[in-house]
Structure 1
Amino acid sequence: MIDHALHRLLLDNLTTATLLLNDELRLEYMNPAAEMLLAISGQRSHGQFISELFTESPEALNALHQAVVQAHPFTKREAHLTSLNGQSLVVDYAVTPILSRGTTLLLLEVHPRDRLLRISKEEAQLSKQETTKMLVRGLAHEIKNPLGGIRGAAQLLARELPATELRDYTDVIIEEADRLRNLVDRMLGSNKLPALSPTNIHEVLERVCSLVDLESQGSITLVRDYDPSIPELLVDREQMIQAVLNIVRNAMQALASQPEQRLGRITLRTRSLRQFTIGHTRHRLVCKVEIIDNGPGIPAELQETLFYPMVSGRADGTGLGLAITQTIISQHQGLIECESHPGHTLFSIFLPLEQGAAPS
């Protein structure tokens, strides 16, 4: 016969987040998988009401009450939960009433969906990025070869011209050939690997802030919301400054395009996240950097292709800044995401805080 201790051992080793609530919807038990998912301690949370652990809709709370009263199980798909640390979770959960000693307990089995959705989205994004890189490299090769010939022919022609004023025309050809070559080089990006060293992420953000202050001359309000407990990251400091600066400069340009009576604001926020998955790798601790602006937002038709080279919402934009940023973040085994609507654009950068990580 299986004893109580073995039952507890089995629950503790399940990878499915499992919670047990009493008939008042207060926590009786939470296994380690649930602690990791919700980023709370089961021992400290014992006896707390369900809404003190995470929040959902009032209808969901009513459904749990009905499950206790009617002893009727139910399942909910793609529910949106908000944990105590403000993290939004998309989950499927099953509720099973259990009759025990004349009272009804509720067993909750919670399956995170946001991680699976994020992995699927990341894989599609990375696949598109690799395809785009191959296309760009092929196109760059086809462009640079004739450019070299055009430039060389213009130089030879300049030597043979009888009048020096005619060289103005060959100078234009040479300058435009050089401009196109530099553009192609920027499209290809740097092949240099990151020079990793322990770096305080807030020093990176403060460097970006100082550059923004100089460029905007105080016309934009910068809001800093830092978590001072975040340890140093192993990153390339200069590359990381460039990655963040590209996003912030885009925000500055977006804010400059809106009516002057609206005060432009950019918020730089840092937080640490526990048990966060990037690709197929689960990281024990991740640094999250958010860049938020209150500009007009990114057009919906651009949001799916935002990180592609040559995609820009401005007529005078090259569309290379975000593509370069994504390449830098990818080289650091990180992730960048964006969500935008009028009045609120949020770029989120996730960077692992530890060397070793477990496959998900």
Structure 2
Amino acid sequence: MPMIINDALHRLLLDNLTTATLLLDAELRLEYMNPAAEMLLAISGQRSHGQFISELFTESAEAVSSLRQAVEEAHPFNKREAVLTSITGQNLTVDYAVTPVISRGATLLLLEVFPRDRMLRITKEEAQLSKQETTKLLVRGLAHEIKNPLGGIRGAAQLLARELPEENLKDYTNVIIEEADRLRNLVDRMLGSNKLPLLSMTNVHEVLERVSSLVEAESQGCITLVRDYDPSIPDVLIDREQMIQAVLNIVRNAMQALSPLSDMRLGRITLRTRALRQFTIGHVRHRLVTKIEIIDNGPGIPPDLQETIFFPMVSGRADGTGLGLAITQNIISQHQGLIECESHPGHTVFTIFLPLEQGATQP
């Protein structure tokens, strides 16, 4: 018996599409929006029913004219790499297709929206993760080549010290031993901790509050700390101490970036948390991810350093070791997370993404 296609089945099919789909009436007011569109635009289709298209998102005056023309002439069209601004202020790069649909004598517009940001971000993340793995192999190989002769040098210096006839000559062998130990410690820091994370269900805001208390003590209240937390974020499976270290490394960098300001009280660091749904990290799509942002209003990171700031021994300061961000990235990687950075003068954002759910699927 053939299946009867009815309105309920049409609605069911649209609701389960992964493509963001909107239906507008002849006046360009919202008739329907599927869950994928709600997620993309961060609005509720039910609450937005009947709203004009520009109340859902904005693009340009020409875009509205093109939609009106599509209604009048029943002519479909596509647009590539359009930049939509959602009602939350977020810019989205998308492709979209507009198809006029005649229903009961009226012309409706079917909009299919294909986000480009996600694919561009996935490509960028894959390149970043590949660089991270390459760097790890390079550092481990270099560390192996350094630590082996260091052990020999230290041992030889100890043996030499025992044979020296005068006690004051041991000052020279002590310098050799101390410098060998310093280099070994530096290499160990480059490699990061060999310990596996001690995972437990932890509230990320406890981590941020611990970092805040440390920063306030170090800065003696000279820097303004702004907390912008999403209290609905559930606990996440992390190593609390490692995560404190990871966030603290970023916040301390922000403090040091703000230190040249003529008035430190103008310096501001914001700690912000949000929950994201259906977010892809590398090749894995997670149903729920926590997003931690560390934002400062310092001078920003020089453009020539932005692509390499997570590499060991890369620092924008003359007295920096270049290990803090490399260690942070290693910790976040051990938690199957991701760290990103965007910076321009007056606004630098480090963003940490941590999976909230263990169940994940390939995108």
- Answer whether TM exceeds 0.5 for this pair: yes
**In the alignment, which residue of structure 2 is the partner of 1:256?**
259
Conservation of the 8 A alpha-carbon contact between 2:102 and 2:108: yes
Is residue 280 from structure 1 mapped to residue 283 from structure 2 by the alignment?
A: yes
**In the alignment, which residue of structure 1 is the partner of 2:223?**
220
Q: 1:118 aligns with which of 113, 118, 121?
A: 121
- Give 1:87 shift: 4.4
Is residue 184 from structure 1 mapped to residue 165 from structure 2 by the alignment?
A: no
Is residue 40 from structure 1 mapped to residue 61 from structure 2 by the alignment?
A: no
Is residue 144 from structure 1 mapped to residue 147 from structure 2 by the alignment?
A: yes
Conservation of the 8 A alpha-carbon contact between 1:39 and 1:274: no
Counterpart amino acid of residue 117 in structure 1: L
Greater shift, 305-314 or 294-303, is seen at 305-314
Counterpart amino acid of residue 120 in structure 1: T
Q: 2:237 aligns with which of 234, 237, 242?
A: 234
- 2:304 alignment partner, SS class: helix
Return closer, same or farther for 1:205/1:283 CA change in 2, 3 Å cut-off: same
Distance in 2, Cα, partners of 1:174 & 1:19: 70
**In the alignment, which residue of structure 2 is the partner of 1:67?**
70
Per-residue CA deviations over 1:56-109 (Å, capped at 9, x if unaligned) read 344433432333334332222222334445544322111122233443211111
Return closer, same or farther for 1:10/1:231 CA change in 2, 3 Å cut-off: closer
**In the alignment, which residue of structure 2 is the partner of 1:209?**
212
- Give 1:276 shift: 1.7
- 1:306 alignment partner, SS class: coil
Counterpart amino acid of residue 50 in structure 1: I
Counterpart amino acid of residue 33 in structure 1: A
- 1:302 alignment partner, SS class: coil
- Give 1:283 shift: 2.0
Distance in 1, Cα, partners of 2:7 & 2:339: 45
Q: Which runs of 5+ in 1 are unaligned?
A: none
Return closer, same or farther for 1:39/1:184 CA change in 2, 3 Å cut-off: same
- Give 1:170 shift: 1.2
Q: Which runs of 5+ in 2 are unaligned?
A: none
**In the alignment, which residue of structure 2 is the partner of 1:289?**
292
Return closer, same or farther for 1:145/1:91 CA change in 2, 3 Å cut-off: same
**In the alignment, which residue of structure 2 is the partner of 1:175?**
178
Return closer, same or farther for 1:261/1:332 CA change in 2, 3 Å cut-off: closer
Per-residue CA deviations over 1:242-281 (Å, capped at 9, x if unaligned) read 1100000000111113333771110111111222222222
Counterpart amino acid of residue 170 in structure 1: T
Return closer, same or farther for 1:191/1:56 CA change in 2, 3 Å cut-off: farther
Counterpart amino acid of residue 222 in structure 1: L
Greater shift, 294-303 or 277-286, is seen at 277-286
Conservation of the 8 A alpha-carbon contact between 2:26 and 2:109: yes
Return closer, same or farther for 1:83/1:27 CA change in 2, 3 Å cut-off: same
Q: 1:162 aligns with which of 160, 165, 186?
A: 165
**In the alignment, which residue of structure 1 is the partner of 2:52?**
49
**In the alignment, which residue of structure 2 is the partner of 1:300?**
303
**In the alignment, which residue of structure 1 is the partner of 2:358?**
355
TM-score by length of 2: 0.93
- Give 1:144 shift: 0.5
Counterpart amino acid of residue 219 in structure 2: S
Distance in 2, Cα, partners of 1:259 & 1:60: 46
Distance in 2, Cα, partners of 1:58 & 1:189: 53
**In the alignment, which residue of structure 2 is the partner of 1:77?**
80
- 1:348 alignment partner, SS class: strand
Distance in 2, Cα, partners of 1:194 & 1:226: 25
Distance in 2, Cα, partners of 1:304 & 1:62: 41
% identical aligned pairs: 83
**In the alignment, which residue of structure 1 is the partner of 2:132?**
129
Cα RMSD for the two superposed structures: 1.9
Counterpart amino acid of residue 355 in structure 1: Q
Return closer, same or farther for 1:86/1:239 CA change in 2, 3 Å cut-off: farther
Counterpart amino acid of residue 79 in structure 1: A
- 1:300 alignment partner, SS class: coil
Per-residue CA deviations over 1:180-208 (Å, capped at 9, x if unaligned) read 00000011111211111111111111100
Counterpart amino acid of residue 210 in structure 2: R
- 1:138 alignment partner, SS class: helix
TM-score by length of 1: 0.94
Return closer, same or farther for 1:59/1:302 CA change in 2, 3 Å cut-off: farther
- 1:290 alignment partner, SS class: strand
